[in-house]
Amino acid sequence: MQLMSKRKILITAALPYANGSIHLGHLVEYIQTDIWVRFQKMCLPKENGHEVYFVCADDAHGTPVMLRAEREETTPEELINQVHNEHLKDFTAFHIEFDNYYTTHSTETREYSENVYRKLQTADPSLITTKNIQQFYDPDKGIFLPDRFIKGECPKCNAKDQYGDNCEVCGAAYAPTDLIGPYSTISNASLVLKTSKHFFFRLSDERCINFLRHWTQKENHLQSEAANKMQEWLGKTGQNNLSDWDISRDEPYFGFEIPDAPGKYFYVWLDAPIGYMGSFKNLCTQKNINFNEFWKKGSTTELYHFIGKDILYFHALFWPAMLEYSDYRTPTKIFSHGFLTVNGEKMSKSKGTFITAENYISHGLDPEYLRYYYAAKLNGTMEDIDLNLDDFIARVNSDLVGKYVNIASRAAGFLVHHFDGHLANITSLDYEGPIELKELKSSVHKLHHELLNEIDPIQAHMQNRRYNQAIAIIMALTDKVNEFWDQQKPWEKAKQIKNSPTKLAMNHPIKFSLHLVSSITIECFKILTILLKPVLPVLAERAESFLNVDPLRWVDLKKSLEPGHQIQAYKHLITRIDRKKINAMIEASK
């Protein structure tokens, strides 16, 4: 590997809301991010001075958490603790390896929220302003209601019980204030309009507009489709399509109170992204890392956010503008992805395709099946990806069991039986033997280099999150290795050895040939294992123990296993997906 300067990288995945379970849709993001983090860590080892951190947290604040805690007769703090534990258990089960998994309800996040707010407030002229707004108020509960808790009669078609933003019957879109007879879905009380003072971040200010026009279009901060979307939202130069952003909510609210504004709280979306800073700060305290080096304006470290396309607006507009005007650095890149469909449709509870992480695991399905399948589909764009359950079973069974681990099981038997597990020298070409062995050596050399030649393209695809293309190449390579094996027919050599009246010497062409074919096949298996390791970390660990090697790194791709190195006897590395387990999981999800 070429020498490179020491890199410091902070990677985040979006914060799951502390009001529900992790499901397979969420996992598209966490698996995608975890693969990228593991890939960076494998390529940029800590011992060489590189630092790569992956942080996340539960998004703990807001009205839904407050109301659920009340319904469950507990406190928001107890509720978010319980959900935090559940989330972390699910992530751990899917081998999502955070360096820190925290909560936004923390002293660190409070401190940075206040700090960001103060800096925006004291900007000259101030980027914080207040306005009186009218909002629906539930007089029974004594709270202002978010739109999702408001229903009423559609002003267009008079359908009853429609949500506050659009009618499911006629499709009309409107404001909650247009509803006829609006009522609270919590208490059923008729709602009243009440005036209240709210705090706003002045996103419509020229400074923000000009900054965002530049930031969203330059230096590939965003994927091109996201940059285009931002251009649409920002409008043409001279236009001003952005409104000021309402960052406050009235009490009672579960969140952080705004400094010097009793009864007013930061809207959950203000402190959610600041939760990235809070979680990282918490890690810095544990590991003695310099927080400012990663976050202060002018930082030369790298910051990457993985998010779903539904929260692009928050991450590509509000967030960089907040950071820019509060003396912090802005993200290096924002990677946005699409949603998950199952069998080509939106996840659905009635069809049993709204599958939680817990349900998947409790049916005995290996989390690495899903990691592999998602990787085989993710292409680095904002397109949705589909989990087709038939294809899922067929693909995992064919690729991982039929092709990849098959390579190890085929070669290990002969190596252990005839050579006590010791490998031949696959790189030495100085053997003086019959002409057919020269041909064998040249085909061994050719196979080895066919694999080595694909390392750079695979690395580039991984770096650009085109995992699907990396997997396609890796699987084409497993086909090549299996074809080589079939062409060489080593089982015929093994038979000849067995049937030989005398014990054959190690350098006898038949024995040598069996040794060489089995050894290069194991070397290829090692290479494929490294290439798949960011996707299949636990399977790779089992493979490492079979290969009898230390944890494999990217640099080990080009370092062949030593001649004479001894592998272990082959044990099952992964089992096939059983359709019955999938069917049971679907039934249980209904």
Site residues (vs Zn ion, CB under 5 A): 154, 156-157, 159, 167, 169-170, 172
Q: Which is nearer to Zn ion, 183 or 265 (CB)?
A: 183
Both tokens of residue 120? 């925006």
Nearer to Zn ion, 174 or 291 (CB): 174
Is the distance from CB of 506 to CB of 515 less than 8 angstroms? yes
Measured over all CA atoms, what is the biggest interatomic distance in the chain, rounded to whole angstroms? Answer: 100
Nearest CB to Zn ion, comparing residues 31 and 167:
167
Identify the sign of the CA torsion 187, 188, 189, 190.
Answer: positive
Q: What pairs with residue 422 in β-bridges? A: 566
Tokens representing 417 are 């039986």
Nearer to Zn ion, 4 or 159 (CB): 159
Closer Cβ to Zn ion, 178 or 386, answer by number = 178
Residue 180 CB, nearest distance to Zn ion (Å)? 11
Structure tokens at 429: 């070409």
The bridge status of strand 51-58 relative to strand 100-103 is: parallel
**Quick check: 240 and 209 in contact, CB under 8 A?**
yes
Tokens linked to 238: 């001279």
Q: In angstroms, what is the minimal distance from the CB of 150 to Zn ion?
A: 15
Give the nearer residue to Zn ion in terms of CB position, either 154 or 284: 154
Report the nearest approach of Zn ion to the CB of residue 193 (Å): 21
Q: Cα–Cα distance between 462 and 484 in angstroms, integer?
A: 27
Residues 6+ away with beta carbon under 8 Å from 239:
none
Check residue 116 and give left, alpha or beta (phi > 0: left; psi -120 to 50: alpha): alpha
Question: To the nearest whole angstrom, how small is the minimum distance from the Cβ of residue 157 to Zn ion?
Answer: 3
| 8 A C-beta contact, residue 376 and residue 468 | yes
Measured CA to CA, the distance from residue 58 to residue 85 in angstroms comes to 10
Comparing CA positions, the residue from 472, 425, 467, 453 lying closest to residue 527 is 453
CB nearer to Zn ion: pick between 179 and 303: 179
**Would you give the DSSP letter of residue 507?**
T
Q: What is the DSSP annotation of 403-467? A: IIIHHHHHHHHHHHHHHTTBPP-SS-------HHHHHHHHHHHHHHHHHHTTHHHHHHHHHTT-H
**Closer to Zn ion by Cβ: residue 170 or 452:** 170
Q: Compute the C-alpha angle 567/539/374, nearest 5°.
A: 150
Distance CA 489, CA 468 (A): 32
Residue with smaller CB distance to Zn ion, 153 or 383:
153
Query: Rounded to the nearest whole angstrom, what is the least distance from the CB of residue 152 to Zn ion in the complex?
Result: 11
Q: Which two tokens stand for residue 347?
A: 């996840």
For the CB of residue 155, give the shortest distance to Zn ion in the complex, in Å. 8
By beta-carbon proximity to Zn ion, the closer residue of 172 and 472 is 172
- In contact, 546 and 407? CB cutoff 8 Å: no
- DSSP, res 316: I
Q: Of 180 and 394, which CB lies nearer to Zn ion in the complex structure?
A: 180
Q: Nearest CA to 29 among 305, 303, 263, 353?
A: 305
User: Cβ of residue 178: shortest distance to Zn ion, in angstroms?
Assistant: 11
Q: What is the closest distance, in whole angstroms, from the C-beta atom of residue 158 to Zn ion in the complex?
A: 7
Nearest to Zn ion of 140, 161 (CB atom) = 161
Measured from the CB of residue 167, what is the shortest distance to Zn ion in angstroms?
3
- Nearest distance, CB of residue 171 and Zn ion, angstroms: 7
Question: Which CB atom, from 179 or from 234, has the smaller least distance to Zn ion?
Answer: 179
Smallest gap from residue 172 Cβ to Zn ion (A)? 5
In a 3-state reduction of DSSP, which class is residue 534? Answer: coil
CA 507 – CA 252 distance, rounded (Å): 83
In the complex, minimum distance from the CB of residue 168 to Zn ion, in angstroms, rounded to a whole number: 8
Q: At its nearest, how many Å lie between Zn ion and the CB of residue 175? A: 14
**Minimum CB separation from Zn ion for residue 151, in Å?**
12
Buried-state track 386-406, b at ≥16 Cβ within 10 A, e below 16: bbebeebbebbbebbbebbbb
Burial 517-548 (b: 16+ CB within 10 A, else e): bbbbbbbbbbbbbbbbbbbbbebbebbbebbe
The residue among 97 and 165 lying less far from Zn ion, judged by its C-beta, is: 165
